Structure 1
Amino acid sequence: MGPSRPAGDADGGKSIILLTPRGFCAGVVRAIDVVRIALDRYGPPVFVRKEIVHNRFVVEELRAAGAVFVDELDQVPPGARVIFSAHGVSPEVRRMAAGRRLQVIDATCPLVTKVHQQAIRYAAMGATIVLIGHREHDEVVGTLGEAPSSTIIVETLDDVEALTIPDPSRVCYVTQTTLSLDETRTIVDRLRERFPLIQGPPANDICYATQNRQEAVHAAAAAGCGLLTDQERAMIRERLQRRGSEDESEQHDDPNNHEDDR
């Protein structure tokens, strides 16, 4: 894992280092394939709640093929076919889909589904759930919906300091899957200091694709200059850029690409 073999000029010119791994994660590939298969099998239009992935090239390609992207289900005709994006949805969205008799195709990333299941389990235990993530991100909105009355979102260490937990003996945490490893570790460490009995998932919720891409950026930081090819709305792009900055490599953005992410 890390930079692949560099290619450079024989006379000592600059080398290009391609990070490995790179590109779409398995969950994103799966979600895109779901839309393509639905279009091929059923024909257009196929409605998709939210962008299937935060990548305008992919979205434009699918839109041209007949996918119709909507923000909410009230934009989908009753009885129509609709796909849920890789980011997942709340139970309320599923109830709304059932009420409109929509034919649902669920493209939620399995790793996101795992976080939902953990939240459900912790809520059943009567615990306060600390959800580490960005409150406006589609994935966090969906996870929050599993137990909104017992879930508190934290984004920063300041949020951790401001936490008030009704029963510190019954508190658990889950995390958004596309976060910075270092930031999440710092927040979890502080949570454990403040709430020694806090419980967490048996394994790190940060998705393996996010983790190995951040590690690849770290390994390549010695190059001194990086070209970050990703979409401005994507969460992983922000995390990769920050990781490279912390490693003191110069970052340049290329907005005209079609690489990963969610």
Structure 2
Amino acid sequence: MNWRDLLYFSQGERRALTLLLCLISISWIILLLTDDKPKQIPKENVQIIEPAKTAQKIVSKKPNPEKVKTPASGRKNNSSREKNKFHSGETPNTSERRTFPKTEKYPVGTVVELNTADTTILKKVPGIGSTFARRIIKYRELLGGFYTVEQLREVYGLDEERYNAMKSWFSADISLICPLEVHKMSFKELCKHPYINYQQAHIIEQLRKQKGKLSGWENLQLLEEFTETDKERLTPYLSFE
């Protein structure tokens, strides 16, 4: 059949041939489109994995912590038990605590000499602990020694009530006082004494320059810087030799 023969078809034949070609083209297009779609898998062949079941399977594969214990895990368990005991209100084993021996106190009637006692002896007096024992020793070093038990009132922090409770436990030996040598002590050394202030140390230094040597309290008692109270307090501590 030659293509020229198409020109001799009737109008009805040409319409029928055109429709047939259109149907054939549509069929090929449908076939091409359906081949590109992914093939659906039947539901009965699909395996659904549930998270809960997989978690159980994974956990079951882990080793039992009670059967397998390492030294590190043992230490962690012990420390966690101790923390739980502490938070729960249980008292820890007293044998593990660091204990300090209690200082034995002197019996009633014991008398301690203030100018020779060290901190160990002072702490054996009822009412005196480490803090007050150190303060008493420090103040004694500044003074040069105690000439009366009443000077304990001047120790920092020692109130009247505590002093009245402990005064009967002490005595003071005046012969153990280390006096200040007025002709040898410098201005700064004189100022360090609790009973000598800046003005008093300054006037002593001026008198030494003027007179060369001070004979005794008669050189100081007429000065306004030194009162009768100062003389009473300083007499055991100043040496004019």
Task: Report the TM range for the smaller structure's normalisation.
Answer: under 0.3
TM-score (norm 1): 0.20
More strand by percentage: 1
Q: Which has the higher contact order (CA 8 A, sep 6+)?
A: 1
Higher helix proportion = 2
TM-score (ref. length: structure 2)? 0.21
